[in-house]
Amino acid sequence: MSTDTLRTLESDIDLCVPEIQDLLAKILESRLGQGEFGITAICREFGLHRKLAWQIRSVAYAPNPLQAVAFVPARSGIESLTKAIKDTNPEIVERLFTTFDRFEDLVQTHAGDRTQLKMLVESNPGSGKREGEAKWREKAFQGNSFIWGAQARTQHSLSVLNASDSVADALDLVQVRGLIGLRRVRPNTRWIVGQSIVLSKTEEEARKRVPLDAAAAAEMDGVPILGEFCSQPLPQLVRRKDAQGLINDEIVPGPVGSLGEQNVVTGEVIRNLAPRYRSRDGQRALFGAISRTPSELFVYDHFVHKDLFPNVERELCVFSELNSPITQDDADLLPVSETIQHLGRGMNVARTPDVPGYLEMLDWVFGSVGWNSRDFDLYRVRLAFPPMPATVVIRHDLPAPDEA
């Protein structure tokens, strides 16, 4: 077996980058001493421009080699630095260039160029680059907007979970979905704003799906629109059933860009959604929302009645839908650094600038089902430039009846 087959990106970084860090730190400290010194002092002492000075200091003092990789300057930057010290410390100059040659070999071997290397490194959990996730997802948002022909400013999902008042030990769920600032990027684009499954007669009898505003839904081809919280004039929607049993609620084509921008909000209550207790060991509850529209922001608010699921540990899961739209397999999890925020109890803790008239809408939603918002805890997930197609899920163990 050749040595090349044993090489990994991580092992090559560990062999090469710490030496670059040590050499750059020695160069800086040989002129500026140990301790705090700023970018201006580096520029003045070595005759460097500010960006290069910042890169050199960032590499030298990054907490780990993976984080340092993103700041390693180009060869021209290394040459600019060494000009200032080649007469006083030629040995360090030679060692720096030798190590930098190894770094460039690493780039070619594992990535081909610096851009690809940066993506590989920032995808590694050890890089600690949380802001890198949003940056890469923003690029995907721009590309997906062009490819699919639509985009939204905010993709909003609201779920309100309560015990069923008609079936013992069952759950009722209010589900509101909104696309805020929906724009067509391409003419004649039709866009799915909601999707559900045709249930069998037996399933329909057990689980009832009812529009929150039945009169508005009847006028909109069955689409459960909440007209009071949509843009005016009302978006035009149609309901289509396909051969696979899916019901697609679609917004019809309209003008592209700002002139055609709309807010689309739908809402339903699903009675007797699922059991509130586990029937077998290890059974878990998953409450989620689908991300299938290129969006600048995804906000998922999950209200849970205070008497449901006490002391459970909630986990954020973002499942890729590339392999399956109904996956619960951890192999399909996408890496995200965001977490679930417990904001408190009642609708007043839900204030957000991301959804226009949000508190008024919450007041209407809770009032329409006769539930008191002060009895519900709010758990929020907020993702910039959410991945798509994906399902954003709040997951936790289901309790046994004697644990509730």
* pLDDT tens string 39-58: 999 999 999 999 999 999 99
134-403: CATH, from 1.10.620, 3.30.720, 3.40.30, 2.60.40: 2.60.40
DSSP string, 257-275: SGGG-EEEEEEEEEEEEEE
Please tell me the predicted confidence (pLDDT) of residue 365.
96
In single-letter form, the type of residue at position 152 comes to A
The C-alpha atoms of residue 67 and residue 37 are separated, in whole angstroms, by 20
Instruction: Report how far residue 358's alpha carbon sits from residue 154's, in angstroms, rounded to the nearest whole number.
Output: 13
Can you say whether the dihedral through the CA atoms of 305, 307, 309, 312 is positive or negative? positive
User: In terms of Cα–Cα distance, which of 62, 73, 168, 61 is closest to 114?
Assistant: 73
What kind and span of H or E run contains 240? Answer: strand 237-241
CB of 230 within 8 A of CB of 223?
no
pTM of the model: 0.80
Residue 205's pLDDT is 54
Q: Which of 151, 203, 159 is nearest to 179 (CA)?
A: 151
- pLDDT number for residue 127: 64
State the Cα–Cα distance between residues 382 and 134, nearest whole angstrom: 12
pLDDT in the model for residue 5: 59
Bridge partners (DSSP) listed for residue 261: none
Identify the residue whose tokens are 């799915």: 192
Cα separation, 280 vs 311, in Å, equals 19
Kindly list the distances between the CA atom of residue 116 and the CA atoms of 12, 38, 92, 134, 373, in Å, as whole numbers in the listed order: 16, 30, 29, 17, 48
Asked whether the bond before 389 is cis by omega within 30 degrees of 0, the reply is: yes
The two structure tokens encoding residue 2: 């050749």
Distance CA 340, CA 320 (A): 18
Q: What does the pLDDT read at residue 55?
A: 94
Note the pLDDT tens digit of each residue in 281-306: 888 989 989 999 999 999 999 999 99
For the chain, what are the domain ranges? 3-128, 134-403
Count of Cβ atoms closer than 10 Å to residue 247 Cβ: 17
Residue 200: what pLDDT? 44
- DSSP E strand boundaries for 73-122: none
Q: What is the CA radius of gyration of the chain?
A: 27
Residue 238 main-chain phi, psi, to 5 deg: -130, 155
Picking from 103, 106, 80, 102, the residue whose alpha carbon sits closest to that of residue 93 is 80
Burial 329-347 (b: 16+ CB within 10 A, else e): eeebbbebebebeebebbb
Tokens of 63: 């907490």
Low-confidence spans in the chain with pLDDT less than 50: 1-2, 199-203
